[in-house]
Structures are given as C-alpha cells and as structure tokens.
Amino acid sequence: MGRLSRWLLLGEWRAHPLRALVAIAAIAVGISLGFAIHLINAAAFNEFSSAIKGLSGVAEVQVRGTEQFFDEAIYPVLAQRTGVAVASPVLEFDASVPGQQTALKILGIDAFRASFISSDLVGVPSEGHVMDTLADDALFLSPAAQQWLKPAAGAPLTLQVGVGELKLRVAGSLQRARAGQRIGVMDLGAAQWRFEKLGQLSRIDLKLRDGVNRDAFKAELEQQLERDYPGRFRVSQPNDEDQNSRNEGMSRAYRVNLTVLALVALFTGAFLVFSTQALSVIRRRSQFALLRVLGMDRKHLLRQILIEGLSLGVAGSAIGIAAGYGMAAAALHFMGADLGAGFFSGVRPQVQFTPIAATVYFALGVAVALLGCAAPALDAARAKPAVALKSGTEEAAMSRLSKAWPALACIALAALLSQAPPVFELPLFGYLSIALLLVGAIALMPRLAAIVFRVAHRRWSAATAGKPGASPVVTLTLSRLANASSQAGIALGGVLSSFSLMVAMAIMVSSFRVSLDDWLLHILPADIYVSTTSAGTTAGLRPQEQAAIAALPGVASADFLRMRGISLAAARPAVALMARNVDPADPGQTLAIVGATQVPGPGAPPPVWISEAMVDLYGMNVGQRIELPLNGKLRAFMVAGVWRDYARPTGSIQMRLSDYRAITGDMDASNVALWLKPGAKAADTDRALKRLPFAAALTTTAPSEIRSMSMKIFDRSFAITYLLEAIAIVIGLFGVAATFSAQTLARAKEFGMLRHVGVTRRQILSILAIEGGALTGLGIVTGFALGWVISLILVFVVNPQSFHWTMQLHLPWPLLATVAGLLLAAAALTALLAGRQSLSGGPIRAVREDW
C-alpha cells in the first residue's frame, strides 16, 4: 500500500504539476507573510520593551507623574521613606535638535545615586576629565545617537530651547546602551538649568532594602500618594504588567490587523487547495472506483487523498516558514522595525527565529491544506464503486455542495457577530464575522449559479424558439452551466474568494485615505502654519515671539496651539492635551466634530472636546464631568463634544487656550496658524517672518504641503497593506487560471462526445470562452457585493474597534474595474488555452474510456 500510495501521488503531480505548484505557492505566500509579520513585530516589540527597561535599570519601584513633569519636593519624601535603600531622581524629556524631525531623548541623572540603580546610564568620561559627569555643559551620547548626530570632534552639539540654541559638549559615550537606542545623559542639575526645568522631575526610581516586600510596598505607597497628592502620581514596577500592557497597547491593533490581512492570502490558498483537490477527485472518480473494485477499502482511499493534501500543506508551509524568515530579515534591514507605522522608532532589532511560532504557522498551513481536501476525500470514500465507474456522475458527486441551509446559517451568524463588542479591545468577532461571510457565500455559489443560469437558459430558449438562426454555441453553453451548477460553483468560489477580499481591502484603504484627506481639509483652514524646525518638547514660542508673529504685516489673526501629554490610566499611553482657541458655541469651525455638542451653562466647569478614542478607551461621553491633572491638581471639566482625530489613536483632548493658561500659567506655544487679511499675500508674510530675529528656528508650511506630506506618511504606513492587496490579486488570478484549466482538462471526454455529434473545434473553444467569461462575470458581480458587505464590517466595525475612529465609505471604481477586467481576461484566456490542449487529441481517443 505504501508503494501504491507513492505511485499515485507522484503520478498525479507528474501529470498536473502546475496545479500542485499553484496550491503550494498559495499556502507558502500566506504562511510566509504571516510568519514574517510576526517575526518583525515580535523583534521590534521585544527590543522596544528592552530599551525602555534598560532606562530603568534595577529599579524595583518607579514613581511617575500623571503630567510629564512634577515638583521635585516629593523626592525627599520618597528617599526618606522606610524600606527605601536608594532613591534616584530622573528628568527625562525629548530635546529638539535643529533641522531634525526626530528628537533626542535626554535623561538628567544624579550620577552618585544612579550608579546603584541604573549604572548603564552613567557616562564614561574621556581620560583626564573624570569630573565631566558633573559638568554643567557635558552630554554623554549613546553609540546610536553619536552615529545619528555625527558630532565633530571638539565641536559642540547644538540643541534647541524655545527658539534659541543651546550648545553642549559631547564629553563621552554610554558604552552599555542598547543597539539603536538614541539617548543622551547629563547631570540632573545641569539639565534642569540648561533646559529651563528648575525644580522639576519626570520620575523617581526606588531600590528597596533587602527583605522588603515589593508588592506590599507598592500598594502602600500608591495609597499614601493618592491620599496626599490625589491624581498626581503613578506607582509601578518597571517590569510589571502595566508597563508591558502600555507598550504593547500602542501597536497591538496595528500588528493584529497586519497579521489578519496576511492570513487573507492563506485563506485564498485554502480554497485553491480545495478546488484543486475537488476537481482532481472528480476527474479521477472512475479511477478511485476501480481501485475500490480491486480491493482498496474506504479507509485507505480516504488516507490517500488526505496524504495528497498533507503533502501540499507540508511543502507550502516549509517553504513559507523559510521565506517568512528571509522576508523578516530583509524588512528589518531595509525598512526598519515599524513597517512604516512609526510605533517602534529608535530601536534596531535583529530577527530571531522562534521555534514555537514557526511550529504554529507550520501547523496552520498543514491544517488549511487538510481542511481544503477533507470534503473531496470524504466524497470519494463514500462513493459506491458501481456508480462511480460510470461517466457523467461528476455532478452528482458535488450535489452535497448545493445545500443552502449551512451557508445561510453561516451568513446569519456572521450578521449577529458583526454587532458584537470587541474582545481585549480587538475586533475578534468582526474578523470571525468576515470569515463566516466568506464561507457562507462560497457555499451558496452552486445554488446561485443554478438559479442564474437556469433563468438565463429559459429566457434564451424562449427568445430563440422557432428561430433557425439561433446560435447553438450559446444554447450549449447555457445548458451546460444550468445543469452542472456544482462544478460551476467551484470555479465561482475561486473568483469570489479572491475578488471579494481584494474589493474589501481596496474599499477599506481608499475609504481611510479619502476620509483622512477630507479631515485634513477641515482641520487646516488657515493660510499659513508656523512651527519650530525641530521635533521634541524643548522647542517652542514664548510670549514675546508669539506677539511678534501675530504683529506681522498682513496677519488678520493668529491661533496658537500648546500641546502636552497627561496620563489618565496606568495601563495606557499618555493622552495628548491640546490647548487652542475653540469657540464653544461653534466648535465645528475648528474641530471635526462627530455628533451633538453641548455648551456649558453658567457655573459649569470649562469645556473640553474629546477624540473618539476617549469614548472607547475611557468611557467618556458628551455632558460628562471629568477631572484632568493640570498644574499639580485634578481640575474639573465638562465634555462638550466629540471630534475625529486620525493622528492620535491613543486619545486626545482639546481645550480652550485661555482656560489652559489660566490654570497652568504656561504661556508658551508649540506652533501657530495664521489667517491673512483680505488681499494679503502669503509670500509677503513669509518674507516678513524670515526677517524676525528668531526666524532661523521657525519653518512655514502651507496647508497643501501639510496635506501632501500627511498623505505620503499614510501611503508609507499602508505600504504593507498595498503589498498584501497586490498579493491577493495575484493569487486570485492564479486561482482563476488553475480552477478553469483543471475543469477544462477534466472535460476532455465531454468535448470528444460533442465532436462526435458535429460540434466543431472552433465552436467548442467559443463555448469555453463564453463559459469562462459568464462564470467569472457572475463571480465578479457576486464578489463585488460580498466585498462591499465585508468592507462595511471593516470600515464600521473592525477599524473603530481597532483604532477608535470612524470614517466615510469610498469606493475606488478605477481600481475595482481594472482588477475585474484582469480576472475576466484571465478566465477567458485560461479556458481557451486549456481547451486547445483538451482538443489536441482525436475525438475517438477522448471518449474511449466510456466503452
């Protein structure tokens, strides 16, 4: 039996190698993409987390503020607390580097205390300059920061504070910083003085005495700080679940969505395996029946067909694992760790082969292949040899596929699951709903094909009745399609699965892109936008610079913006707090408002406008009273509206600039939007701006430039999605070609019989071309409808649950029409080519097996 099994398997592959290769390639593509994305994201996340932990050293407890900085008066309270061995104060901020769009993270430390907790952060001064660790102008850079900034030997490093420049001396390096970690370290007092943050800290690292219970100490400290300083501090352990959850939450939805999109290719591959095996089993139905007659029992026949599917799965999975590892290594080397999304900037991870993940993906590919051939294998094993030996029983073999109730049950369940809430803030039920929709729609294709083509056949017959000039080619084509709906359903399923998924992804990406462009048009109404030339938190505009800008000739009004981060939950990233001029009576002039708004009444707290993410992540709603940590206290505000914010999926809050300044006393601004007087020219105002004393620290941008740059960032972020979409199209084209060629070659006896009764070779080729076009056309129409329904789930369920924003639906008609045309051409061309091969032999030879 073993020799016979190998002989049958190799014989089938030798006879039809292309079909086997297409099925293997489809599985390999799906596995390689999924495994590569897993390796990339796992490497980036682990390196990112390790880099953050490296900044904490061996601290056992860490105290941070709910605002970016807090008063250093809390330090002696913590340092003298019972159970604390060492308390290390740290000032951490992102320093602006002139001309750079990436900031340099600087940590101000007390070298004597940090040496007990985070010794890796203590700089190594050059020989003969031991006291540089305490110098007020000395900065120690990590190797990655030195490689990035390339400071000249003996030349100072220029940083930006406000609109002025600060020159620091590179006194040495941080030898034990992680690869890719761009940080600088200097003395705490010097950092507070030089960067105008006197009396401020970012965190305090605590090392406990031996024998102190860390969990109990943390719980007691949390209670005390919340009692004495309500809402001002967060207590955590550097390696605890809160920090891991916070780091993971920044990119979890992005990583999960990429993985699911990668597995779309694997799903299409599963259907290719099914169609390949189903058509192969139908074509060899009489051969299997003969084997049964000669003594092979059902068990061995079932095992033989499953071995064929298993072989496809093993080969495809093995190739996919190897290709995925290579793709991950290449992507990390050339594209970086974030795949364009910007979640893991500042790290340079190396790909690490993970046996457990490789085993899971390998098993997934094998399981997909086995599931794809399970139904054909069971049908072949159940078939009665006496019936299966006769030709013409192929359609009866597929009759089980025409049952409608399982498909309708899948679609009904999909509709219910699409309304389910997220699980762990992930749209798991939404993805399951999409999978059930695909399965249900594909299972309905035989019934749909039967209904459509029977109606078409009846109408054609009625229209041509009594007309001697009616085309027999069309009559034969419609008759065959109407009476062989199950086999037609297999071909339709291939078109449906590939085209519907392509349509859904194209609509989703296009909808997001158009919505983003419309959003940018709404939130960028000004004529000119002025900002500092560098990223980071140390650059900004002081009141005197703001006054000078507002007084420029041609400027009608200036809207200044101040932005900072605040922490509202220990397990979540900081929320962006933005202060600007917003009219409570009409906030829609400034913000992309979603839904109703509310104007605060007399005596009500000041209004704020929250992004959609705040509703999902923090449960805030319009009219609700909330408290925000500002200037060392919890301040009451009222939610006056919800606005759409595509730039900050972790949440953002808008408030009036006047309220912000009255509460905090912070008069600085991050950037400014300028409206010009009627008749004023932007070029004249730009020239006047460049004549200001601090013009070198500023850059001006037109709204069109910001939109163009934002769309480029969008395209870079979705580059991997575009790649997955293109791969889905290619797999779909191969699937259509493989399915139609397999069906055409399996009908050699049918074509031989038609030749016997007088149908010419040219007419048979016309029949095949019309069949291919008709089936593909129906598949495209159905696939478009299904893809549109799936896109509704992606746009209105999956994306809001994943990224906490809404968007408008947009259909990219040119792209959809192009792909539909390619599928039609591929199906018709494949049917013709396969038909020519099937007709290459004589008609007597083609039907000889029937005698």
pLDDT tens digits along 174-202: 878 877 788 999 999 999 999 999 999 99
pLDDT per residue as tens digits for the range 758-779 = 888 888 888 888 888 888 888 8
Token pair for 87: 């308390």
> Which helix (H) or strand (E) element contains residue 34?
helix 17-56
pLDDT value at residue 100: 84
State the virtual CA torsion across 66, 69, 74, 79 in degrees, nearest 10.
100
Segment among 42-46, 74-78, 198-202, 576-580 with least mean pLDDT: 42-46
Q: Is the pLDDT of residue 140 over 90?
A: yes
181 within 8 A of 187, measured Cβ to Cβ: no
Higher pLDDT, 152 or 105: 105
* Cβ neighbours for 617, distance < 8 A, ≥ 6 positions apart: 425, 572, 650, 651, 804
Q: Is the pLDDT of residue 118 over 70?
A: yes
pLDDT value at residue 838: 61
AA letter at 55: L
Q: Is the pLDDT of residue 252 over 70?
A: no
Rounded CA separation 799/252 (Å): 13
Q: Cα 668 from chain centroid?
A: 36
700 within 8 A of 528, measured Cβ to Cβ: yes
Higher pLDDT, 187 or 348: 187
pLDDT value at residue 850: 43
- Rounded to an integer, the average pLDDT of 494-510 is 84
Token pair for 774: 């008709």
699 within 8 A of 240, measured Cβ to Cβ: no
- Rounded to an integer, the average pLDDT of 434-447 is 87
316 within 8 A of 25, measured Cβ to Cβ: yes
Segment among 81-85, 410-414, 568-572 with least mean pLDDT: 568-572
End-to-end CA distance of the chain: 29
Segment among 430-439, 465-474, 672-681 with least mean pLDDT: 465-474
- Rounded to an integer, the average pLDDT of 22-45 is 79
Q: Is the pLDDT of residue 54 over 70?
A: no
Segment among 222-226, 265-269, 413-417 with least mean pLDDT: 265-269
123-137, 565-579, 767-781, range with greatest mean pLDDT: 565-579
In the chain, domain spans: 1-57+250-397, 58-237, 406-526+702-851, 528-700
Rounded CA separation 835/831 (Å): 6
Token pair for 422: 């997220």
838 within 8 A of 740, measured Cβ to Cβ: no
Within 718-795, where are the H helices? 719-746, 748-756, 761-793
311 within 8 A of 351, measured Cβ to Cβ: no
pLDDT value at residue 272: 67
Token pair for 202: 């970012």
User: Tokens 């959609």 identify what position?
Assistant: 612
> Which helix (H) or strand (E) element contains residue 227?
helix 214-228
Rounded CA separation 595/776 (Å): 43
pLDDT per residue as tens digits for the range 777-810 = 888 899 999 999 999 999 999 989 988 999 999 9
Q: Is the pLDDT of residue 69 over 60?
A: yes
> Which helix (H) or strand (E) element contains residue 455?
helix 428-464
* Cβ neighbours for 359, distance < 8 A, ≥ 6 positions apart: none
Segment among 14-18, 94-98, 507-511, 548-552 with least mean pLDDT: 14-18
Within 159-198, where are the H helices? 188-194
Rounded CA separation 251/214 (Å): 30
- Go through the chain and tell me how many residues it has: 851
pLDDT band of residue 261 (cuts 50, 70, 90) is low
Token pair for 446: 């035989």
Q: Is the pLDDT of residue 34 over 50?
A: yes
pLDDT band of residue 819 (cuts 50, 70, 90) is confident
Rounded CA separation 56/49 (Å): 11
Q: How many CA atoms lie within 13 A of 424 on its CB side?
A: 7
> Which helix (H) or strand (E) element contains residue 472?
helix 472-483
- Rounded to an integer, the average pLDDT of 498-525 is 90
Token pair for 145: 């920061």
In the chain, % of residues over pLDDT 70: 84
Rounded CA separation 653/670 (Å): 16
pLDDT per residue as tens digits for the range 832-844 = 777 676 666 555 5
Angle, vertex CA 31, rays to CA 27 and CA 34, nearest 5: 145
Nearest residue to 200 via CA among 671, 733, 632: 632
Angle, vertex CA 484, rays to CA 478 and CA 485, nearest 5: 90
- What 3-state DSSP class applies to 84? strand
455 within 8 A of 481, measured Cβ to Cβ: no
- Rounded to an integer, the average pLDDT of 308-321 is 90
Report residue 678: phi and psi, to 5°: -55, 130
pLDDT band of residue 554 (cuts 50, 70, 90) is very high
Q: Is the pLDDT of residue 391 over 60?
A: no
- Rounded to an integer, the average pLDDT of 458-463 is 89
Q: Is the pLDDT of residue 721 over 90?
A: no
pTM over 0.95: no
Mean of the per-residue pLDDT values for the chain?
A: 84
Give the gyration radius of the chain's Cα atoms.
34
